[in-house]
Amino acid sequence: MGKKIIVLNGSPRANGNTAALAARFIKGAEAAGHEVRHFDLQKMDIKPCLGCCAGGKDPKHPCVQRDGMDEIYPAFMEADIVVLASPMYFWSFTAQLKTAIDRSFAVAELDPDYRLHHKGCVMLMAAGGDSEPNFAPVKDFYASLLGHLGWKDLGMILAGGVMAPGDIAGHPALEEAEVLGASIK
Ligand SMILES: Cc1cc2nc3c(=O)[nH]c(=O)nc-3n(C[C@H](O)[C@H](O)[C@H](O)COP(=O)(O)O)c2cc1C
């Protein structure tokens, strides 16, 4: 049976390198029969977490704030797989993606033990640098995040050496992203 997949794309560049990676992943996943929803976080009104820890009271509106996350929450709760797609900004995800991740805490607040349902997770990332040390901090962050959430890593596609939109054309990571999407079971 097809899986429910959501792509949280934190790139501010609609036609950038991350968008190209996400498009190829989605192509592979849809060809394999999965249902994919793509959220372009830059275009959405998503406010930062207030740290009030007062969410989790209403499954229809897990957070006390009413904004674009209300569109994401139902899909996030249903999703079997979450794809975290972002350019590398200062050795991490963009603020757009980090903000959405922070706001997912309101879903965990629906559970008395602050647990989210088990999910698979994929990371897609474009970066200007192309060395192992350049990617080490974000790989650590991704591993810590998944360790905390109890989610399973299904794969990381890291496209280094790409700066301007379009630089990713012909990069092997594009094919790898499509193959990863198609390999989802
Ligand atoms: C504010 C900012 C911070 C960045 N920080 C890094 C970085 O820490 N390491 C890196 O390799 N590239 C860095 N880059 C380069 C981007 O990761 C690169 O341009 C990427 O291809 C952008 O992806 P996009 O086209 O999807 O926006 C940074 C770019 C910007 C604008």
Please choose from 90, 168, 171 the residue to mutate so as to test ligand 1's pocket, defined by most ligand atoms within 8 A of CB. Answer: 90
Tens digit of each residue's pLDDT (9 = 90 or more) over 90-117: 999 999 999 999 999 999 999 988 888 8
Please choose from 18, 40, 88 the residue to mutate so as to test ligand 1's pocket, defined by most ligand atoms within 8 A of CB. Answer: 88
For the residues 72-97, what does the mean pLDDT come to? 98
The per-type count for the chain, helices as H runs and strands as E runs, is: 6, 5
The pocket around ligand 1, CB under 6 angstroms, is made up of 11, 13, 16-18, 87-91, 126-129, 134, 162-163, 165
Domain of residue 15 covers 4-47+68-98+118-131+149-183
74 within some domain: yes
40 within some domain: yes
Please determine, for residue 36, whether its predicted confidence score (pLDDT) is greater than 90.
yes
For the residues 7-30, what does the mean pLDDT come to? 98
Q: What is the CATH number of the domain that holds 123?
A: 3.40.50.360
Give how far Cα 131 sits from Cα of 119, 124, 127, 161, 166, Å. Answer: 29, 16, 10, 9, 20
pTM of the entire predicted model:
0.98
111 within some domain: no
The pLDDT value recorded for residue 115 is 83
138 within some domain: no
From ligand 1's centre to the CA of 167, what distance in Å?
12
30 within some domain: yes
Kindly indicate the confidence band of residue 66, based on its pLDDT and cuts at 50, 70 and 90: very high
From ligand 1's centre to the CA of 13, what distance in Å?
11
Please determine, for residue 175, whether its predicted confidence score (pLDDT) is greater than 90.
yes
Question: 153 near 121, Cβ under 8 Å?
Answer: yes
The pLDDT value recorded for residue 182 is 98
Three-state SS annotation for 12-28: CCCCCHHHHHHHHHHHH
- How many domains does the structure of the chain reveal? 1
For the residues 112-127, what does the mean pLDDT come to? 93
Give how far Cα 153 sits from Cα of 39, 118, 184, Å. Answer: 20, 11, 12
- Which atom of ligand 1 is the closest one to the Cα of 86? 26
From ligand 1's centre to the CA of 132, what distance in Å?
16
Question: 46: closest CA among 106, 126, 88, 122?
Answer: 106
Measured CA to CA, the distance from residue 105 to residue 166 in angstroms comes to: 34
155 within some domain: yes
136 within some domain: no
The pLDDT value recorded for residue 1 is 79
For the residues 111-127, what does the mean pLDDT come to? 93
Quick check: helix, strand or coil at residue 171? coil
From ligand 1's centre to the CA of 1, what distance in Å?
37
Please choose from 42, 89, 125, 167 the residue to mutate so as to test ligand 1's pocket, defined by most ligand atoms within 8 A of CB. Answer: 89
Please determine, for residue 166, whether its predicted confidence score (pLDDT) is greater than 90.
yes
60 within some domain: no
Q: Output the average pLDDT for the chain.
A: 97
